[in-house]
Amino acid sequence: MSSNFEANNNNGEKQLVCVTGAGGFIGSWVVKELLIRGYHVRGTARDPADSKNAHLLELEGADQRLSLCRADVLDAASLRAAFSGCHGVFHVASPVSNDPDLVPVAVEGTRNVINAAADMGVRRVVFTSSYGAVHMNPSRSPDAVLDETCWSDYEFCKQTDNLYCCAKMMAEMTATEEAAKRGLELAVVVPSMTMGPMLQQTLNFSSNHPMAKPYKFSNQRLKDLGLEFTPLRKSLHEAVLCMQQKSHLPLIYPVPKLSSTVPRCRSISDTTIKLFNMSCNSAEVAANDGSSNGGEKQQQQEEEVVCVTGAGGFIGSWVVKELLLRGYRVRGTARDPSKNAHLLALDGAGERLTLCRADVLDCESLRAAFAGCHGVFHVASPVSNDPNLVPIAVDGTRNVMNAGADMGVRRVVFTPDAVLDESCWSDPEFCQREDIYCYAKMMAEKTATEEASRRRLQLAVVVPCVTVGPILQPSVNFSCHHVVRYLTGAAATYPNAVAAYADVRDVARAHVLVYEHHGARGRYLCIGTVIHRAELLRMLKELFPQYPVTSKCEDEGNQMVKPYKFSNQRLRDLGLEFTPLRKSLHEAIECLQRKGHLPVVTLGITITITMSSISNDNNGDQKRQQQQQLVCVTGAGGFIGSWVVRELLLRGYRVRTTVRDPADRKNAHLLALEGAHERLSLRRADVLDFAGLLAAFAGCHGVFHVACPLSNRDPELMAVAVDGTRNVMNAAADMGVRRVVFTSSYGAVHMNPNRSPDAVLDESCWSDPEFCRQKDMYCYAKTMAEMAATEEAEKRGLELAVVVPSMTMGPMLQRALNLSSTHVANYLTGAKKSYPNAVAAYVDVRDVARAHALVYERHDARGRYLCIGAVLHRAQLLQMLMDLFPQYTIASKCDDKGKPMVKPYEFSNQRLKDLGLEFTPLRKSLYDAVMCMQRNGHLPVVLP
């Protein structure tokens, strides 16, 4: 996908283009694509007010950049009015029928369009022809390759009453003749039978048309332009789902046939099986009907249906989320689907998640749940020491395996409990005496292995340890409760013991990785780290010093138990990057605070917390205690600014943001952030408007100055960067603000030709201003702005902390593509054919946001904080992208081939690490960034 910059002309103005027949099947998607690419679009329609064109006004970017005008291809005057001021015209309009008047309408209409375009100064026209103008030729050999040189036989089309093909062929010839006569640049797109989801509400022709016999063809010319064709299976799949959502097609659920030779879980009648299948079908239809979003979003999903047992639990919820993010259609089992509303709020749930009532001890309900599924993730298991746990775990697992086999499932992923490596097993007798839960999980895993072998199921076993991280479900799970008891001091002492920990998101990814690697069999140990309980509590104390963390060991007299060694190599070999435990703990606690399960405590306040104040229910009505500080963020609508706002809201601050136009739709994403309704306000202000800044900073405790243009060609760059920064610092001081966090750039650090390549890049490094001025105005502006901030802070007695981020990657909160996301997308789509022999520094946008909050909250934090997660060569970056997304055609040629590869330089981010920041692996940042661009329609979804 090209960036929005391609929609600019040489003067930097946004191009205006016109699309005829904008409300049709192809026309609607052309409009959508042009809007995504940043064009201003004018669509022609016979009646713009007709409700059948309303879907166009709902497209992203439509309210700012789409207008509909009344025009008819047979009315040249209306076409000239429509094309006035346009740089290009896309002529898509054409009836799809065998109306006798079709030929003159198509031909004369096309002639009018071409001439009206020429009359109005349009230089470039794209005409939509049809493969009906190419393939209808009885003299063509069936072995001949169909390509751009082929034309249909007009007489044959006429004799066979195929007037549509006659019309399209004659229209294309007319377009070619008129374009040559009027000196227009003409490109002709010749689509075949066009499939896929609809944007319009009415059924188009191809949604009910038979397939033809295959013949050879060539689409090389479009491939040469970088077009990757969508697999027909995906097009058909999404077309049918779209018709179901728009009620053009009834929802019918497939009921697989049970083989009489396959053993069943227990003796039941075929009538009962059919009844259960009908019950599940009804439930699924009802769920789909109730959760459909009207097809407003393009679905990006795979063919596979998978089922997750215990979907509403801590791990199960994250497994469901991960599967939805990867495009699967997911069916979740629960004893009471109505108590799992958090699942229905997940991204993609409305289109691709259904919940059905099932119990692992009820084999009939499992059969109904697994009907039509390709795979099963068996996560369900109670976490307790109930004596009845063993039969539930063992018999339930046996039922799951056999029900899966009965319903034709070939692949199962099972979740037992932790070991040291894949060859280790717990001692059954010891577990039976000491820990019923461990005994139940061990016996359940052995049962799963035996049943899988007997029923010839492909079984992969993910073996997690103590699982920590943020919760999706409303209630507190066991491991979070375990951490909170220490954080709040409810546990008076801690044991002299070690434990293994893993992040819940890593556990979820592990499930999907072993499912998607079809050669994956057996056990996969999912452990991120093994540490002593004292080390866990030390982390909690460093992250949350305001809480009374347990500090006394119950076994102080004895030697501290040493952590054991473990191996998680099998999952690493599948590409899993484990999340640092410090990050897992930090996000788990913040999540509990947001959900009201843990009070927010400010440093310097003495508190007493009892476990009764920690919510274990899911009522969701406990109010979150909020910090009283009001802070202001400039440039809040941008990539980094949006994440800074989000981070501050999550930490309980009241946030005021400055934007040029609070009512602009491009800032709407801020109002959708968690906590925004209660604690976020948008203010109109500009950094060059000193009075506006004074008003914005009134009553604020701190200011985060993030705003700055990201362009070397912006005429306001230097004024906004330097004068704007001076205004921010002085306005803050005038309004009594004592603390400012300034967002600089590593452009203010690394641009120095005299720096030795062996030198370590740290906070003492500065770019050379004169070198920057000659080579890169953005780096020059940021260097001078940071210097200005430092001078003004010293002059006015402000406490200043400077965060210096490098190239910032990761998912976007805003809708428009930012520079670094465009940088990645251009490599994925082949827009960049080669890469430079260069290194660059990268960091995750979420780490940048956390860095801002960390330096603000540490009142002794002063000066620069270099925010770099990794430095690597561009070739390494592209290799990561290839590993993560092998389905894309990624540039593999270096534009400086033959010269030695530039070596990455060393750097230090120790100052931020000392504040507790754990940097996100770049692989994760890239993965999340690409998935986000796919979901937002900035990047086409390409199936592996």
CA nearest to 604, candidates 795, 857, 358:
857
Instruction: Report which residue type is found at 608.
Output: T
Residue with tokens 């497939």: 254
CA 819-824-829 angle, to 5 degrees, is 120
CATH architecture of the domain with residue range 263-289+302-464: 3-Layer(aba) Sandwich (3.40)
Q: Which CATH number fits domain 4-242: 3.40.50.720, 3.30.70.3270, 3.30.2130.10, 3.40.50.880?
A: 3.40.50.720
Cα–Cα distances (Å) from 35 to 21, 42, 189, 296, 471, in that order, read 16, 10, 19, 15, 37
Reduce the DSSP state of residue 733 to 3 states and report it: helix
**How high is the mean pLDDT in each 10-residue block of the chain (944 residues)?**
41 73 88 89 86 83 86 89 90 69 81 92 90 81 83 81 79 90 91 75 50 61 74 67 59 38 35 33 33 36 80 93 92 85 88 90 91 92 56 85 92 71 49 56 82 90 90 83 84 90 93 89 92 92 88 88 90 90 90 80 47 40 49 93 94 91 84 88 89 90 86 63 91 92 90 84 88 85 91 93 94 88 88 89 95 92 94 92 88 83 89 91 91 86 72
Task: Provide CB contacts within 8 A for 51, sequence distance 6+.
Answer: 201
Give the C-alpha separation, 4 to 15, whole Å: 11
Contact yes or no for 153/137 (Cβ under 8 A): yes
Q: Going along 612-712, which residue ranges are E strands?
A: 630-634, 654-659, 680-684, 702-705
The pLDDT score that the predictor gives to residue 152 is 82
Give the C-alpha separation, 696 to 683, whole Å: 7
Contact yes or no for 578/502 (Cβ under 8 A): yes
b/e for 818-857, b at 16 or more Cβ within 10 A?
Answer: bebbbbbbbbbbeebeebebebbbbbbbbbbbbbbbbbbb
- Phi, psi at residue 843, to the nearest 5°? -155, 155
Task: Provide CB contacts within 8 A for 365, sequence distance 6+.
Answer: 276, 333, 356, 357, 358, 359
Max Cα distance, the chain (Å): 101
Instruction: Report which residue type is found at 766.
Output: W
Strand partners, 305: 329
Give the C-alpha separation, 744 to 766, whole Å: 12
User: What is the crossing angle of helices 922-935 and 874-884, to 10°?
Assistant: 60
Which value, in Å, is the radius of gyration of the alpha carbons in the chain? 31
Contact yes or no for 855/915 (Cβ under 8 A): yes
Give the C-alpha separation, 403 to 414, whole Å: 14
- Whether 782 is a known active-site residue: answer yes
CATH architecture of the domain with residue range 626-815+842-869+904-922: 3-Layer(aba) Sandwich (3.40)
CA nearest to 124, candidates 62, 78, 175, 170:
175
Name the strands in the sheet holding 88-91, side by side, starting at the edge strand that comes first in the sequence. 66-70, 40-45, 16-20, 88-91, 124-128, 185-189
Strand partners, 58: none
Give the C-alpha separation, 329 to 305, whole Å: 5
Give the C-alpha separation, 366 to 363, whole Å: 5
Which residues make up the CATH 3.40.50.720 domain(s) of the chain? Answer: 4-242, 263-289+302-464, 626-815+842-869+904-922
> Of these residues, 583, 782, 795, 832, which one is catalytic?
782
Contact yes or no for 37/59 (Cβ under 8 A): no
Instruction: Report which residue type is found at 345.
Output: A
Contact yes or no for 413/343 (Cβ under 8 A): no
Which two tokens mark 843?
A: 């960091």
Number of residues in the chain: 944
